[in-house]
Amino acid sequence: MSQSTLSTARLELLPLSAEHKEFLYLLDSNPEVMKYIGYGKPLTADESGIVLNHLLETATSGSGLGTWAGFADGEFVGWWVLAPSQTDDTPPKLNNDRAVFGFRVAPNFWGQGFAKEASRELLKHGFQELGVREVLGDTMAINAGSRATMATCGLRHIRTFHNQYDNPPPGIEEGEVEYRITKDEWLALRK
């Protein structure tokens, strides 16, 4: 199944393509956007290209999962990903039932409800159309915006964990958090 174009009240969500490279770099090169991501620092153009390739790969499982670029009145707002997770096998296999969720919104659109608007559409698409059974998301514990976005979409905090990194971003001492929603929980919220 190929990835569908989706829409919400204000957003057109297009399957991410290589043509969106400049839009991704706009986010990846912004210190505010990257404060709680990776090493907590802006990326170079080359590093952003690697992220783009990684995001493009999320659509290659043929499950309809992938990454979407969101536009409001033709203007780039951000991207959202709903990707297959990886199993613990060696080598890992893709698991389309268990999807991993994430997002970035351009700062000039923050605080206007765009992150949750597109996120809710992706969850609905995943659970209703793509056979997803469970959606997981993680972020740094101090990333209040990301946590609030996941929570307002119905995901619940299930654990806090501490990984070791060579060049950890400031604030990692508080750990990272994992959020989750199952299809049954999502259906129950809609009643």
Binding positions for ligand COA, rule: CB under 6 A: 33, 36-37, 102-105, 110-116, 139, 143-146, 148-149, 152
Q: Closest Cα partner for 1 from 119, 126, 130?
A: 130
Question: Least distance in Å: CB of 5 to ligand COA?
Answer: 20
**Dihedral sign, Cα of residue 101, residue 118, residue 38, residue 110:** negative
Whether 48 and 41 have beta carbons less than 8 Å apart is answered as: no
Strands 94-105, 134-140: parallel, antiparallel or unpaired by DSSP?
parallel
Among residues 12 and 89, whose Cβ is nearest to ligand COA?
12
Whether 141 and 174 have beta carbons less than 8 Å apart is answered as: yes
One-letter identity of residue 21: K
Question: Least distance in Å: CB of 89 to ligand COA?
Answer: 26
Question: Least distance in Å: CB of 190 to ligand COA?
Answer: 16
Among residues 29 and 131, whose Cβ is nearest to ligand COA?
29
Q: Sort residue 57 into left (φ over 0), alpha (ψ -120 to 50) or beta.
A: alpha
Question: Least distance in Å: CB of 76 to ligand COA?
Answer: 13
Among residues 131 and 171, whose Cβ is nearest to ligand COA?
171
